[in-house]
Amino acid sequence: MRHAVCVTQNQARATLERMEEDGQLPDTIAVPFVRCRPQEDAQVVLCRLGLGHPRPALFLSGGARKIAPEHRALAAECLRGVAQAATRLGMALVSGGTNCGVMASLGEACASLPRPPPLIGVLPSGIVARRGAAILERHHSHFLLIEGGDWGVESGWLSRLAAALTKGQHPCLGLLINGGRIARRDLSAALEQGLTVWAMEGSGRLADGLAQHRQGSAAPDPQLQALAAAANLSFLPATLRARAMEQRILKHFRRS
């Protein structure tokens, strides 16, 4: 793996533009990253990241800057339980990797532990090139930069990477908290893969819209109706405390 260290946004942009393989991201601490094409094989990417060993995995999709403060607080409590369960299970976590919303809450939850689990951020390389390293959540241990200039090019990679981490030998779980347009794409890809996804009802926006469609209490949206009807989508209350969330995850993974 090649490495580069940058301290300014201009340097970060220049580094990312000329980088063809692997390197190291500019941040308060340098962490490994890999840049790849959207069609690249996920197992190859994991080997390049140094994460080729099979393990349980959980991916998080959800609200970033548009999540309301009260929903961010619920997410933070829930994600403390996710991080604790990940440590106990030897699980890797995958998220959108940005320094806001549920991704930041997950990073903070992992950082509070004596032995944080691997936490991989997935986002478009063009976003990092334009905005610099400040967009990256600093507690993520690895980053995967999907070649492309805008949000959406990375859609499907959260679930792809999480499933690849298991190598078919361990369970894989998705978690939706809040969420908008990009989270809807992430969810659609995960459900099409046949992966189990938990949506946190009461966390706002997409998650609540899905719950309302499952209950038949929302104005019909054909796409949301189809997603909400998926047998591999379940709902949990967003008010779950950290300990309760941890126990739910441990039970699910140990039973699978």
User: What is the distance between the alpha carbons of residues 228 and 234, in angstroms, rounded to a whole number?
Assistant: 9
Question: What integer pLDDT is reported at residue 23 of this predicted model?
Answer: 52
Under 8 Å between Cβ of 38 and 131: no
Question: What integer pLDDT is reported at residue 72 of this predicted model?
Answer: 98
User: What is the distance between the alpha carbons of residues 117 and 80, in angstroms, rounded to a whole number?
Assistant: 12
Under 8 Å between Cβ of 197 and 175: yes
Q: Which two tokens stand for residue 51?
A: 């994460």
- DSSP lists the bridge partners of residue 14 as none
Kindly tell me the sign of the dihedral angle through the C-alpha atoms of 106, 90, 142, 168: negative
Among the listed residues 180, 231, 178, the one whose alpha carbon sits nearest the alpha carbon of residue 201? 178
Domains delineated in the chain: 9-255 (3.40.50.450)
SS3 67: coil
- DSSP conformational letter for 4: -
User: What is the distance between the alpha carbons of residues 37 and 142, in angstroms, rounded to a whole number?
Assistant: 17
- What backbone phi and psi angles, to 5 degrees, belong to 173? -135, 145
- Which amino acid makes up residue 82? V
pLDDT for residue 17 is more than 50: no
Among the listed residues 150, 151, 145, the one whose alpha carbon sits nearest the alpha carbon of residue 122? 145
The pLDDT > 70 percentage for the chain reads 88
User: What is the distance between the alpha carbons of residues 256 and 252, in angstroms, rounded to a whole number?
Assistant: 6
Q: Which two tokens stand for residue 67?
A: 């999540």
pTM of the entire predicted model: 0.90
All residues at 6 or more sequence positions from 138 whose CB lies less than 8 Å from its CB, including other chains: 27, 28, 29, 99, 107
Average pLDDT score over residue span 28-34:
70
User: What is the per-residue pLDDT across 36-95, written as a single tens digit (0 to 9) for each?
Assistant: 999 999 999 999 999 999 999 999 999 999 999 999 999 999 999 999 999 999 999 999
- DSSP conformational letter for 57: E
Largest Cα separation within the chain, whole Å, is 53
User: What is the per-residue pLDDT across 126-174, written as a single tens digit (0 to 9) for each?
Assistant: 999 888 888 999 999 999 999 998 999 999 999 999 999 999 999 999 9
